Amino acid sequence: MSKPKSEERKSAGTTRRDFLKKTGAAGAAAGAASLLGSAALMANTENPDAQTTWAEWFQGNYRLMTDEEKKESVARLEKRYSAQFGKKVTVDDAPAIDGVLFGYALNIQKCIGCRRCVKACVKENNQSRTNTEIEWIRVVRMEKGQFSAGDMDKGYPQEEGHEYGVQVGGNAYKPAGVVLEGKHYYEPEKVPEKDAFYFPIACMQCEKPPCVKVCPVRTTYREGDGIIVIDYNWCIGCRMCIGACPYWARRFNWGEPNLPADDMNPNTHYLGNRPRMKGVAEKCTFCIQRSRRGRYTACVEVCPVGARKFGNLLDPESEVRKILDRKRVFRLKAELNTYPKFFYFID
Residues near other proteins, by CB under 8 A: 22, 25-26, 28-29, 32, 57, 61, 64, 131-132, 138, 140, 181-184, 201, 210, 213-219, 234-240, 242-248, 250-256, 278-281, 336
Minimum CB distance to other proteins smaller for 185 or for 317: 185
Minimum CB distance to other proteins smaller for 232 or for 289: 232
- Tell the smallest beta-carbon distance from residue 254 to other proteins (Å): 4
- Tell the smallest beta-carbon distance from residue 195 to other proteins (Å): 18
Task: Strand 196-201: give its sheet, edge to edge.
Answer: 182-183, 138-143, 196-201
Bridge-based pairing state of the strands 102-107 and 308-312: antiparallel
Gyration radius of the chain's alpha carbons:
23
Q: How many CA atoms lie within 13 A of 149 on its CB side?
A: 0
Minimum CB distance to other proteins smaller for 18 or for 317: 18
Minimum CB distance to other proteins smaller for 220 or for 297: 220
- Tell the smallest beta-carbon distance from residue 124 to other proteins (Å): 20
Minimum CB distance to other proteins smaller for 211 or for 302: 211
- Tell the smallest beta-carbon distance from residue 255 to other proteins (Å): 3
- Tell the smallest beta-carbon distance from residue 212 to other proteins (Å): 8
Cα(347)–Cα(305) distance, integer angstroms: 14
**What's 134-185 look like in SS3?**
CCCCEEEEEECCCCCHHHCCCCCCCCCCCCCCCCCCCCCCCCCCCCCCEECC
Cα-based torsion angle of the residue sequence 262, 286, 299, 111 in order, rounded to the nearest 10 degrees: 150
